[in-house]
């Protein structure tokens, strides 16, 4: 698990800086710390930087709080390439290189150093299948990364993403509860966030390095 | 080397939702059964509340035989094949897909057994769509009622009865066929969301009701009640509150001492003797080939595998596949048109994070023949269902109703507000069989052993398309009445591999158009019984499992009562 500050710690710091506990999300974003990089195991340093730049645009860090970068979505993808996502390893290697080449072709610079607006423009080209140099095509690569970025942001943190439950907090998912009361199921009741990974519960026997029945 | 095992009375191929039922009446009557199952035993520790593993990675903790045999689909004989799905809709394990199904345990509507005669009686015979091969079932709802009743108590199905011996109770489904007694326990609880939908339904003049479910709403048979944790959708139950055959009929059959379970056995062929009777089953296990001789063979795989295994089991007596001398194996294929639902977006949070797909509100006013079709150009209908069932990945992958892009800050802002404000309604629609919708063996694509996989050639016809449009419009009205600010009609999509797939070994009195007789035994191979939705001749408008299970019990009971005629 990454060593960057927990949301709770950020709230404490924000409060210490004179803000109320109901700190606006915008203020939170301003106190977001420089993040410690995850150790990537399957993607190269160059590849992982490009991937982190992509996921940062798909679910950005902004005035509404942290995004896929802080959630560790790129780390989730990297870890998965060793097992359940292994069939996508080639697609990532070739797709990330193709994106960087496309960036050079259009701007003369690599993808990671571009302004956000430039990065977004290139990603829109990929999404609309207008970018060249991809196998089989750029939309396929874009959809692959988008799907895995969402998985990595909103899945159980045991898989290396959704770090510090950033994803679950983003959409208001109140966390895993094995026993749910009548009140906790009501439409006007919003249970407190329960910060638990299914894989921290001792009754379950789970190997998260399993291969997938899925081939992506 | 092939190992020939000692013979047994009955061998079942598959110990899932169907085979796992049939073994109980057989073993309780003293018949020795060998149950072959491709998967393994699963235990509560396998069922972590993990959406990624359950819903997106296809249960890596189970044996993946089905995932190596995913059927290939094309719309018709002229069209190219669709990209092959990466996961099979069903799973292998002791208990099969009843381990992770929604457990919504309906009886079929009486109309579904008599579509041809009822349509002719009410609207005239020309209302059966051109090209449809639909027939009346060789049994009625009343014939199956005792078996539905037995299963509801044997498994544990909770619900409100809507019709006990003709006495209507509006807490339940007022359109259901008459039942002889109440459910053994009440339904799963309601929530403010499900009550909001039910209230809206009542304002529209409908009679909403909770789904019957094979899930304990209270302690039942010494197993605990559901705790509503929210991972029931394609998830196993760590409490054993979901009444899969793995925790109900199979252990009970095992306790008789007459059931021998062989897990991780991969059946490759059904053998026949010189007289064309089934003589046993060939399977692979741990690199060895075994032959299990048996007096009676019960084929109890899923729809695709039942058809495939028959077609792979050719012999001199059955050159084009076992029980296929009339060319009926693979015919009359249907799926449920499960796609083509409707999404609703609400202006407030719904708090659907905890709950399960069997906890919700449904209506049957537009199902089956519950409304007058005189002025419509289709027959059949859909059961409508909204449920208390959401999880983080599902919720964040929501349709944005044209209000936001698919990614970026605008998307993020949209899902932060709306991930808990939308719901998808299921519309389970009548689907009819047609002469050109069928299953066969793929000419080139094989499983890793080299056996051809199943090929689906099927597309929805006009009746299904008209029905989808009609019911989607009605569902949109229900959502709007409940306060939805937007709705979205999901496309019907192609008719590919499905959890609700029917036909291929249809049940009927005429051997020229059906594979099995009214008792579930082959017209051509008298000691071969077939269990599963592959015998069903109509889809109905609701979840099929309880019907599959009632038919499986009935076939097994028929075998017990006619052992000397069938096993000789």
CB B430 within 8 A of CB B368: yes
Nearest to B412 among A67, A123, A191 (CB): A67
Given an 8 Å threshold on Cβ–Cβ distance, is B192 in contact with A188? yes
Contacting residues of B for A121, CB less than 8 Å apart: none
**Is residue B332 included in any domain, yes or no?**
yes
Residue A188: the pLDDT is: 87
Which H or E run contains B33?
A: strand B33-36
- CA of A189: which chain B residue's CA is closest? B351
pTM for the full predicted model: 0.93
- Cα separation values, B238 from B48, B297, B358, Å: 7, 33, 17
CB B524 within 8 A of CB B511: yes
Go through chain A and tell me how many residues it has: 216
Distance CA B362, CA B368 (A): 14
Distance CA B288, CA A37 (A): 50
Tokens of B361: 């509100």
Query: Reduced to 3 states, what is the DSSP secondary structure of residue B345?
Result: strand
Query: Reduced to 3 states, what is the DSSP secondary structure of residue B520?
Result: coil
Q: At what angle do helices A116-127 and A45-58 cross, to 10 degrees?
A: 90
Residue A4: the pLDDT is: 37
Nearest to A64 among B47, B348, B413 (CB): B413
Determine the straight-line distance between the first and last CA of chain A, rounded to whole angstroms. 24
User: Is B490 an interface residue toward A (CB < 8 Å)?
Assistant: no
Go through chain B and tell me how many residues it has: 568
Q: Among candidates B127, B98, B103, B118, which has minimal Cα distance to B39?
A: B98
Distance CA A190, CA A174 (A): 8
CB B531 within 8 A of CB B376: no
Q: Rg for chain B (alpha carbons), in Å?
A: 23
Given an 8 Å threshold on Cβ–Cβ distance, is B392 in contact with A57? no
Give the minimum alpha-carbon distance from B197 to chain A in angstroms, rounded to a whole number. 12
Q: At what angle do helices B141-151 and B545-561 cross, to 10 degrees?
A: 100
**Is residue B64 included in any domain, yes or no?**
yes
Non-local CB neighbours of B258 within 8 Å, separated by 6+ positions: B26, B27, B30, B31, B32, B33
Give the minimum alpha-carbon distance from A206 to chain B in angstroms, rounded to a whole number. 7
Give the minimum alpha-carbon distance from B268 to chain A in angstroms, rounded to a whole number. 21
Contacting residues of B for A156, CB less than 8 Å apart: 50-52
Tokens of B119: 């349509």
**Measured in whole angstroms, how far is the alpha carbon of residue B497 from the centre of its chain?**
12
Residue with tokens 């029905």: B467
**Is residue B475 included in any domain, yes or no?**
no
**Is residue B482 included in any domain, yes or no?**
no
Given an 8 Å threshold on Cβ–Cβ distance, is A171 in contact with B415? yes
The pLDDT tens digits along chain B (568 residues) read 899 999 999 999 999 999 999 999 999 999 999 999 999 999 999 999 999 999 999 888 787 899 999 999 999 999 999 999 989 999 999 999 999 999 999 999 999 999 999 999 999 989 999 999 999 999 999 999 999 999 999 999 999 999 999 999 999 999 999 999 999 999 999 999 999 999 999 999 999 999 999 999 999 999 999 999 999 999 999 999 999 999 999 999 999 999 999 999 999 999 999 999 999 999 999 999 999 999 999 999 999 999 999 999 999 999 999 999 999 999 999 998 778 999 999 999 999 999 999 999 999 999 999 999 999 999 999 999 999 999 999 999 999 999 999 999 999 999 999 999 999 999 999 999 999 999 999 999 999 999 999 999 999 999 999 999 999 999 999 999 999 999 999 999 999 999 999 999 999 999 999 999 999 999 999 999 999 999 999 999 999 999 999 999 999 999 999 999 999 7
Contacting residues of B for A168, CB less than 8 Å apart: 392
Residue A27: the pLDDT is: 43
Nearest to A172 among B88, B407, B419 (CB): B419
- SS3 for B452-507 is EEEEEECCCCHHHHHHHHHHHHHHHHHHHHCCCCEEEECCCCCCCCCCCEECCCCE
- Cα separation values, B291 from B214, B235, B281, B527, Å: 36, 34, 6, 17
Distance CA B240, CA B223 (A): 7
Given an 8 Å threshold on Cβ–Cβ distance, is A150 in contact with B238? no
Tokens of B331: 């015919």
CB B228 within 8 A of CB A176: no
Nearest to B392 among A154, A158, A207 (CB): A154
**Is residue B472 included in any domain, yes or no?**
no
Contacting residues of B for A188, CB less than 8 Å apart: 192, 351
DSSP state of B56: I
- CA of B413: which chain A residue's CA is closest? A64
Q: Among candidates B230, B232, B234, B215, which has minimal Cα distance to B89?
A: B234
Determine the straight-line distance between the first and last CA of chain B, rounded to whole angstroms. 30
Residue A39: the pLDDT is: 86
Given an 8 Å threshold on Cβ–Cβ distance, is A214 in contact with B52? no
Q: At what angle do helices A138-154 and A45-58 cross, to 10 degrees?
A: 80
Distance CA A153, CA A174 (A): 15
Residue B261: the pLDDT is: 98
Measured in degrees and rounded to the nearest 5, phi and psi for residue B270 equal -100, 125
**Is residue B477 included in any domain, yes or no?**
no
CATH of residue B253's domain is: 3.50.50.60
Nearest to B229 among A155, A177, A187 (CB): A177
What are the residue boundaries of the structural domains of chain A, listed by start? 43-200
B452-457 β-sheet, strand order: B72-74, B452-457, B438-446
Tokens of A47: 């590849």
CB B147 within 8 A of CB B213: no
- CA of A120: which chain B residue's CA is closest? B408
- Cα separation values, A164 from B49, B129, B362, B412, Å: 18, 57, 38, 18
Given an 8 Å threshold on Cβ–Cβ distance, is B51 in contact with A156? yes
Contacting residues of B for A62, CB less than 8 Å apart: 409, 412
Q: Among candidates B302, B261, B241, B18, which has minimal Cα distance to B147?
A: B18
Give the minimum alpha-carbon distance from A181 to chain B in angstroms, rounded to a whole number. 8
**Is residue B84 included in any domain, yes or no?**
yes
**Measured in whole angstroms, how far is the alpha carbon of residue B3 from the centre of its chain?**
35
Residue A19: the pLDDT is: 38
Which of residues 404 through 423 in chain B touch A, CB cutoff 8 A? 406-409, 411-413, 415-416, 419-420
Given an 8 Å threshold on Cβ–Cβ distance, is A84 in contact with B229? no
Tokens of B322: 């076992």
Domain that holds residue B66: 1-101+139-157+243-336+497-568
What is the domain count for chain B? 1
Which residues in chain A come in under a pLDDT of 70? 1-37, 211-216
Residue A76: the pLDDT is: 98
Residue A189: the pLDDT is: 86
Residue B568: the pLDDT is: 79
Measured in degrees and rounded to the nearest 5, phi and psi for residue B539 equal -85, -25
**Is residue B388 included in any domain, yes or no?**
no
Measured in degrees and rounded to the nearest 5, phi and psi for residue B360 equal -175, -155
Which of residues 39 through 98 in chain B touch A, CB cutoff 8 A? 44-53, 56-62, 64, 67, 86-88
């Amino acid at each position: 698990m990454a060593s960057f500050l927990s949301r709770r710690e950020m709230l404490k710091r924000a409060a210490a800086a004179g803000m109320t506990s109901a700190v606006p999300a915008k203020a939170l974003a301003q106190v977001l710390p420089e993040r410690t990089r995850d150790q990537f195991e399957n993607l190269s340093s160059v590849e992982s930087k490009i991937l982190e730049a992509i996921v940062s645009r798909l679910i950005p860090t902004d005035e509404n709080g942290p995004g896929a970068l802080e959630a560790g979505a790129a780390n989730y993808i990297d870890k998965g390439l060793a097992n359940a996502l292994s069939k996508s390893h080639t697609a990532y290697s070739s797709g990330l290189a193709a994106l960087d080449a496309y960036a050079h072709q259009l701007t003369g610079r690599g993808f990671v150093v571009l302004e956000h607006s430039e990065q977004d423009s290139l990603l829109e080209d990929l999404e609309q299948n207008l970018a060249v140099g991809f196998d089989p095509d750029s939309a396929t690569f874009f959809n692959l990364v988008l799907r895995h970025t969402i998985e990595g942001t909103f899945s159980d943190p045991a898989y290396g993403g959704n770090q510090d439950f950033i994803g679950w907090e983003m959409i208001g998912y109140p966390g895993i509860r094995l026993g749910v009361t009548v009140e906790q199921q009501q439409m006007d009741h919003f249970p407190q966030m329960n910060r638990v990974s299914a894989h921290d519960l001792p009754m379950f026997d789970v190997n998260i390095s399993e291969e997938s029945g899925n081939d992506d | 080397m092939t190992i020939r095992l000692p013979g047994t009375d009955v061998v079942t191929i598959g110990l899932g939702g169907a085979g796992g039922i049939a073994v109980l009446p057989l073993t309780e009557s003293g018949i020795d059964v060998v149950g072959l199952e491709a998967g393994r035993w699963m235990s509560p520790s396998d069922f972590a509340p993990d959406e990624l593993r359950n819903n997106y990675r296809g249960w890596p903790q189970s044996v993946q035989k089905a995932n190596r045999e995913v059927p290939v689909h094309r719309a018709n004989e002229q069209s190219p094949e669709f990209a092959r799905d990466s996961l099979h809709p069903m799973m292998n394990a002791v208990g099969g897909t009843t381990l992770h199904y929604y457990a919504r345990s309906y009886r079929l509507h009486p109309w579904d057994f008599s579509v041809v005669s009822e349509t002719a009686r009410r609207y005239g015979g020309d209302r059966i769509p051109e090209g449809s091969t639909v027939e009346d079932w060789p049994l009625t709802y009343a014939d199956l009622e005792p078996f539905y009743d037995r299963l509801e108590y044997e498994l544990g199905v909770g619900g409100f009865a809507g019709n006990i011996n003709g006495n209507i109770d509006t807490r339940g489904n007022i359109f259901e066929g008459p039942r002889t007694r109440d459910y053994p326990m009440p339904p799963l609880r309601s929530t403010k969301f499900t009550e909001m939908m039910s209230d809206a339904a009542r304002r529209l003049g409908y009679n909403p009701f909770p789904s019957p479910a094979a899930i304990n709403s209270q302690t039942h048979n010494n197993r605990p009640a559901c705790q509503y944790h929210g991972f029931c959708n394609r998830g196993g139950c760590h409490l054993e509150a979901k009444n899969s055959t793995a925790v109900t009929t199979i252990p009970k059959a095992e306790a008789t001492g007459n059931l021998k379970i062989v897990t991780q056995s991969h059946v490759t062929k059904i053998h026949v003797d010189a007289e064309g009777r089934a003589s046993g089953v060939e399977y692979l296990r741990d690199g060895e080939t075994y032959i299990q001789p048996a007096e009676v063979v019960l084929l109890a795989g899923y729809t695709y595998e039942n058809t495939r295994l028959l077609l792979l089991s050719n012999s001199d007596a059955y050159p084009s596949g076992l029980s296929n001398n009339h060319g009926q194996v693979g015919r009359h294929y249907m799926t449920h048109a499960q796609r083509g639902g409707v999404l609703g977006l609400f202006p407030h949070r719904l708090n659907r994070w905890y709950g399960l797909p069997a906890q919700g509100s449904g209506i049957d006013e537009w199902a089956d023949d519950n409304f007058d079709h005189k002025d419509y150009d289709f027959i059949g209908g859909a059961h409508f269902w909204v449920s208390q069932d959401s999880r983080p990945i599902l919720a964040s992958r929501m349709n944005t109703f044209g209000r936001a892009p698919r990614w970026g800050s605008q998307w993020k802002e949209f899902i932060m507000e709306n991930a808990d404000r939308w719901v998808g309604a299921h519309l389970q629609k009548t689907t009819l069989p047609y002469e050109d919708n069928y299953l066969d063996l793929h000419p080139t694509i094989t499983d890793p052993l080299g056996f051809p996989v199943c090929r689906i050639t099927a597309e929805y016809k006009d009746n299904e398309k008209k029905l989808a449009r009609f019911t989607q419009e009605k569902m949109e009205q229900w959502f709007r009445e409940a306060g939805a600010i937007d709705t979205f009609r999901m496309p019907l999509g192609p008719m590919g591999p499905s959890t609700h797939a029917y036909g291929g070994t249809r049940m009927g009195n005429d051997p020229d158009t059906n594979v099995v007789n009214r008792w579930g035994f082959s017209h051509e191979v008298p000691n071969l019984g077939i269990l599963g939705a592959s015998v069903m001749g109509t889809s109905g408008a609701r979840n099929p499992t309880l019907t599959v299970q009632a038919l499986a019990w009935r076939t097994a009971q028929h075998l017990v009562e006619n052992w000397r005629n069938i096993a000789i």
